[in-house]
A and B are shown apart, each in its own frame.
Chain A
Amino acid sequence: MITFEGVTKRYPDGTVAVDDLSLQAPTGAITVFVGPSGCGKTTSLRMINRMIDATSGRILLDDQDVRAIDPPTLRRGIGYVIQQAGLFPHRKIVDNVATVPYLLGWDKRKARARAMELLELVGLDSRLAGRYPFQLSGGQQQRVGVARALAADPPVLLMDEPFSAVDPIVRASLQEELLHLQSELHKTIVFVTHDIDEAIKLGDTVAVLRVGGHLAQMAGPATLLSEPADDFVREFLGKDRGIRRLSFVPAKGVRLGSAPADLVVDDDTRPLGWRSNGGLLPYGIFDPERDSLRAALDAALLSPNGTAIAVDGDGHVIGVATRDALDEVLRRHATGPDEQARESDGEVPVTDPRRAES
């Protein structure tokens, strides 16, 4: 658990970057700091590992004031990932990853073995280990950055806009990968971004900061979308809040009907399309066990007849959801706070409906 207690950062010229910030980043969850530039999100993050020291207030790391720990020692126990990866250009990838283990005095063989393990964990080919950073793509470098941060298995990970310098496709896959890693590692992660969609996708809790370093709202992503605290948060969240919130509603509650006769399936009951005069029409599928209501609705919109096909994990048809069936669920979630979505806030969901939507 990381606790901010009335933390303020004031620079000598009088600028206040962070103003009396109090919040908690729970253990084992992803807390996202999001906000426009100048809102103090990066400053707040960097005060945790003392890259910047707070002017007043306290930051506690599991009840220990970070100011009581010598900065290099503190930082060796906290993973740190920055935007441009910041890999050491003169060191091979494997040695970059082993940076902190070397600093902690591990012997070289053990450190390198650990580095190889991590390269695999973040999805990098072991052949890249002997290369130098300039030989890797931006996305690969960023993965190395994450591997390096995890090398000494720190309980806490600080990520400062780690994915904002890569293209959208790579970014999406890095985000997926992070959620996947987190589902295994359960680190306490503080993640800074200016991208609200990234915040909503990754955060178990999202702290929206406004310019001047004030906390505007802190809530789970679904609550944030359904109940923005004020106009600033509402505006910052942007359009389509209603639709986006459906990403947090599991599709499990949708009433399934049996597959109608005009749904064509192959021998293995995988869908092929909707029968029509002289051909097959397109269709949309969703997996009620894993997908969100948003994915189910999307599947319905992809079919000309408005019916979404429900499939199991292997792609076999298990039923269909008509528009009426979807409407029933939508009505339940259309207004007011949503209990189901609430429950998943602030915890790590076992099956994460967000993962299906990227």
Chain B
Amino acid sequence: MNWLIDFFGNAANWSGSDGIPTRILEHLEFSAAAFLIAAVIAAPLGLLIGHTGRGAFIVVVSANAARALPTLGLLVLVVLLIGVGTVLPVLIPLVVLAVPPILVNTYEGVRGVDADLRDAAYGMGLRGRQVLFKVLTPSALPLILLGLRLSAIQVVSTASVAAFVGLGGLGRFIIDGLATKTYSDVIGGAVLIALLALAVQLGFTLLNRVVVSPGVRQVR
């Protein structure tokens, strides 16, 4: 508790280029960039594979790779390959981390829509694209949002690795704190990351309320 007071109570921690607000903003920038890139890649791909049933192996490979891949290892690898100095070494591992939950859940969501519903949609005279966007996607939305949420939370909690390659973000407090044995910084940084993750969770809960039809929300 004292460590937390030391960290959050220290006025010097709240200003400047290494202050809490700046670090939070940096952290959010990496996270948001990685998350958005991943979403733009994975969500359409998941919808397409789920709808057509073609390319399902991509989903399987991606899901398995996600379990096996060490983010930190990948970070080091990318640094070795392209060097430091840009944000790429951070973005690439984060995007790789963020894609599978979105891809897998979007795919499963679309795939899992009741066959009768799909049948009825075609039977009413909807075209393929209308079936996907007017019926399958709204029905699968809870799972799609779940994928996005898991992905966002993972990215936010993992974005601290940026500090390993000399970039900013909340990871700085942890890395630097460990190096200088300033444990109040380590714990303070960890708490901030946890709070960000909670905020993301909350954000998605609210989003769920707004965009998911009550008719679908209740069923699950």
Contacts and interface: CB of A to CB of B under 8 A. Distances in A.
Interface of A: 49, 51, 71-77, 80, 82-92, 99-100, 103, 132-135, 148
A132 B125 contact: no
Contact of B125 (A83, A88, A100, A134): A100
B16 interface: no
Given A75-B122, A91-B215, 5 more contacts: A72-B127, A73-B125, A82-B123, A86-B121, A90-B212
B125 A76 contact: yes
17 contacts: A51-B123, A71-B122, A75-B122, A75-B123, A75-B125, A76-B125, A80-B120, A82-B116, A86-B114, A86-B120, A88-B117, A88-B121, A88-B135, A89-B139, A89-B213, A90-B212, A132-B215
Residue of B123, B126, B138, B218 contacting most chain A CB atoms (<10 Å): B123
A302 to B, nearest CB: 43
Contacts of B122: 51, 71, 75
A223 B147 CA distance: 60
Contacts of A134: 215, 218-219
Contact of B123 (A49, A77, A133, A135): A49
Nearest to A158: B123
Interface string B107-128: 0000000101101111111110
Nearest to B213: A90
Secondary structure class of chain B's binding surface, majority of residues: helix
B138 A90 contact: yes
B85 interface: no
Chain B interface size band reads 20 to 34
Given A82-B119, A132-B214, A89 B219 contact: yes
B124 A103 contact: yes
A72 B125 contact: yes
A86 B126 contact: no
B120 A103 contact: no
Contacts of B141: 90
Contacts of A80: 120, 123-124
B125 A87 contact: no
B60 interface: no
B33 interface: no
B214 A84 contact: no
B69 interface: no
Contacts of A135: 218
Interface string B123-147: 1111100100011001101000000
Contacts of B120: 80, 82, 85-88
Contacts of B213: 89-91, 132
Contacts of B124: 75-76, 80, 99-100, 103, 148
B40 interface: no
A80 B122 CA distance: 10
Nearest to B128: A72
B119 A90 contact: no
Contacts of B138: 88, 90
B216 interface: yes
Nearest to A99: B124
Contact of A90 (B123, B126, B215): B215
A88 B130 CA distance: 13
A103 B129 CA distance: 13
A73 B124 CA distance: 10
A87 B119 CA distance: 10
A78 to B, nearest CB: 8
Contacts of B135: 88
A92 B215 contact: yes
Nearest 8 pairs of A and B residues by beta carbon: A86-B120, A132-B215, A76-B125, A90-B213, A75-B125, A80-B123, A90-B138, A84-B116
A239 to B, nearest CB: 34
Nearest to A86: B120
A133 to B, nearest CB: 6
B112 to A, nearest CB: 13
Contacts of A99: 124
Nearest to B215: A132
Residue of A85, A90, A132 contacting most chain B CB atoms (<10 Å): A90
A91 B120 CA distance: 14
A313 to B, nearest CB: 40
B116 A103 contact: no
B209 to A, nearest CB: 14
Contacts of B126: 72, 103
Interface in B178-213: 212-213
B216 A89 contact: yes
